[in-house]
A and B are shown apart, each in its own frame.
Chain A
Amino acid sequence: QSALTQPASVSGSPGQSITISCTGTSSDVGNYNLVSWYQQHPDKVPKLMIYEVSQRPSGVSNRFSGSKSGNTASLTISGLQAEDEADYYCCSYGGSTTWVFGGGTKLTVL
């Protein structure tokens, strides 16, 4: 099972919107609506931001949204804030009762 592909880094200015992509295959991202996204600040535990492609857990800002097209899922953060600066990871059900993560994207707020 190969890791999902994410850009190593993205950046944006406060108030702007950014999108992080997560590319898998027809065996994982493309075949299941079971993509989730996690935010991780340095030396902190990952935090669930999006599940089932586009669902937000209670307490997560509506500035975070998720979508999927084919084998690629995306996380969009609108109205970028300094506190959004963190690493972001996608995750997908990979079939055969396994789960696969992306390599992570470092978001820098300029």
Chain B
Amino acid sequence: QVQLQQSGPGLVKPSQTLSLTCAISGDSVASNSAAWNWIRQSPSRGLEWLGRTYYRSKWYYDYAVSVKSRITINPETSKNQFSLQLNSVTPEDTAVYYCARLYCTGGTCGGGFDYWGQGMLVTVSS
């Protein structure tokens, strides 16, 4: 059974960096049949995919256009986890942040976001 456990601060000041970590159990961050994603949810923006990382002989990174200039997702193989960093945050970045696994087979990641972290409310406020 795959489990994702999120950690990180729940309050970030405007202009600072939001940092979250997602620890994986029951799978590997370097798995060839998964991609590891960050998704957020807010009343104003609904569910919003932010980005992903995955390993296929080398590491790949894909980011949503809306946050591409501010986001970094990093795998940490020694701890079997991956992280999210979002720079220069504003109150509009206030949301519940989720990590999620996207299942991939046969070279296609079409299996849906099948496992999710517990979600973390991150508030951007001074």
Q: For residue B62, which residues in chain A have a CB less than 8 angstroms away from its CB?
A: 97-98
CA distance A1 to B67 in the complex (A): 12
Q: For residue A97, which residues in chain B have a CB less than 8 angstroms away from its CB?
A: 62
| Given known A45-B98, A46-B116, A98-B65, contact A104–B46 (CB-CB < 8 A) | yes
Q: For residue A34, which residues in chain B have a CB less than 8 angstroms away from its CB?
A: 108-110
Tell yes or no: A86 within 8 A of B by CB: no
Tell yes or no: B27 within 8 A of A by CB: no
Min CB–CB distance B45 → chain A (angstroms): 8
| Given known A33-B110, A51-B111, contact A3–B46 (CB-CB < 8 A) | yes
A98 touching B64, Cβ below 8 Å: yes
B114 touching A98, Cβ below 8 Å: no
Instruction: Tell me the interface secondary structure of chain B in the complex.
Output: strand
CA distance A48 to B100 in the complex (A): 11
Q: For residue B49, which residues in chain A have a CB less than 8 angstroms away from its CB?
A: 91, 98-101
CA distance A33 to B119 in the complex (A): 28
A89 touching B110, Cβ below 8 Å: no
What would 29 A/B residue contacts be, using CB atoms closer than 8 Å? A33-B110, A34-B110, A36-B112, A36-B113, A38-B47, A38-B113, A45-B117, A45-B119, A46-B116, A48-B113, A48-B114, A50-B112, A51-B110, A51-B114, A57-B112, A57-B114, A89-B47, A91-B47, A91-B112, A93-B109, A93-B110, A98-B49, A98-B62, A99-B37, A100-B49, A101-B47, A101-B49, A102-B46, A103-B46
Q: For residue A84, which residues in chain B have a CB less than 8 angstroms away from its CB?
A: none
B48 touching A101, Cβ below 8 Å: yes
Instruction: List B residues at the A interface (Cβ < 8 Å).
Output: 37, 46-49, 62, 64-66, 98, 103, 108-114, 116-119
Instruction: Tell me the interface secondary structure of chain A in the complex.
Output: strand
Tell yes or no: A85 within 8 A of B by CB: no
Smallest Cβ-Cβ distance to A3: which chain B residue: B46
Min CB–CB distance B44 → chain A (angstroms): 11
| Given known A98-B49, A101-B47, contact A46–B65 (CB-CB < 8 A) | no
Which listed residue, B48, B65, B108, B116, touches A45 by the CB 8 Å rule?
B116
